[in-house]
Structure 1
Amino acid sequence: MFGYVIRRLAMAVATVFAAIVISFLLVHLTPGSPGAIVAGADATEAEVAKANAELGWDQPLWTQLTAYLKNLLQGDMGTSIIDGQPIQADLLTRLPVTFFIALFATILSAVVGVALGVTAAVRGGHTDRGITVGSGIALSLPAFWVGVLLVYVIAVRADLLPATGYVPFTVDPVGWLQSLLLPVITLAVGGAAVVARTARASMRGALRQEHIRTLQAVGTPPWRIRYLHALRYASVPIVSVLGIQFIVLFGGSVIIENLFALPGLGQASQSAVAAHDFPALQGVVIVATLVVVITNLLLDLVIAALDPKVRTA
Structure 2
Amino acid sequence: MILFVIKRFALAVTTVFVVSVLVFLLVHAGDTTPGVVAVGIGGTQEQIEAYNEQIGWYDPLIVQYLAWLGSALTGDLGTSLTNGSDVLDEILRRFPVTASLAFGATVVSSVLGVVLGVTAAVRRGLADRLVSVFAGMGAAVPAFWLGIVLVFVFAVQSSLLPATGYVRFEDSPSGWFSSLVLPVLTLAIGGAAFIARQTRASMLEALGQEYIRTLRATAMPTWRILYVHALRSASLPIVASIALQFIALFGGSIIVEVLFALPGLGVAVQGAVGQADAPAVQGIVVVATLVVVVVNLLLELTNSFLDPKLRTS
Retained in 2: the 8 A contact 1:166–1:176? yes
Match of residue 82 from structure 1:
82
What is the letter of the counterpart of residue 143 of structure 2?
Answer: A
What is the letter of the counterpart of residue 63 of structure 1?
Answer: V
Q: Distance in 1 between matches of 2:42 and 2:264?
A: 32
Q: Distance in 1 between matches of 2:177 and 2:127?
A: 33
Q: Superposition pairs for residues 1-313 of structure 1, below 5 Å?
A: 1-313=1-313
Give the drift of 1:89: 0.3
Q: Distance in 2 between matches of 1:127 and 1:38?
A: 59
Q: Distance in 1 between matches of 2:85 and 2:127?
A: 56
Give the drift of 1:39: 2.4
What is the letter of the counterpart of residue 62 of structure 2?
Answer: W
Give the drift of 1:55: 2.0
Map Cα deviations across residues 128-183 of structure 1 (whole Å, 9 max, x no partner).
Answer: 11111121011100000000000000111111110000111111111011111111
Give the drift of 1:99: 0.6
Other structure's SS at 1:126 match: helix
The range that moved more, 94-103 or 218-227, is 218-227
Other structure's SS at 1:220 match: coil
Give the drift of 1:268: 0.3
Give the drift of 1:46: 2.4
Give the drift of 1:58: 1.5
Q: Distance in 2 between matches of 1:58 and 1:49?
A: 10
Other structure's SS at 2:107 match: helix
Retained in 2: the 8 A contact 1:35–1:55? no
Q: Distance in 1 between matches of 2:43 and 2:111?
A: 56
Q: Distance in 1 between matches of 2:251 and 2:128?
A: 32
Q: Distance in 1 between matches of 2:234 and 2:164?
A: 38
The range that moved more, 180-189 or 49-58, is 49-58
Map Cα deviations across residues 180-229 of structure 1 (whole Å, 9 max, x no partner).
Answer: 11110000000000000000000000000011011111221211111110
Give the drift of 1:123: 0.5
Aligned pairs, number: 313
- State the identity as a percent: 54
Q: Distance in 2 between matches of 1:22 and 1:222?
A: 53
Other structure's SS at 1:56 match: coil
Q: Distance in 1 between matches of 2:156 and 2:310?
A: 49
Q: Distance in 2 between matches of 1:66 and 1:160?
A: 52
TM-score where L is the length of structure 2: 0.98
Q: Distance in 1 between matches of 2:186 and 2:85?
A: 33
Give the drift of 1:47: 2.4
Q: Distance in 1 between matches of 2:266 and 2:220?
A: 50
Retained in 2: the 8 A contact 1:144–1:256? yes
What is the letter of the counterpart of residue 208 of structure 1?
Answer: G
Q: Distance in 2 between matches of 1:251 and 1:94?
A: 13
Give the drift of 1:37: 1.4
Q: CA RMSD in A?
A: 0.9
Give the drift of 1:295: 0.4
Give the drift of 1:115: 0.3
TM-score where L is the length of structure 1: 0.98
Give the drift of 1:68: 0.4
Give the drift of 1:239: 0.2
What is the letter of the counterpart of residue 83 of structure 1?
Answer: N
What is the letter of the counterpart of residue 73 of structure 2?
Answer: L
Give the drift of 1:59: 1.4
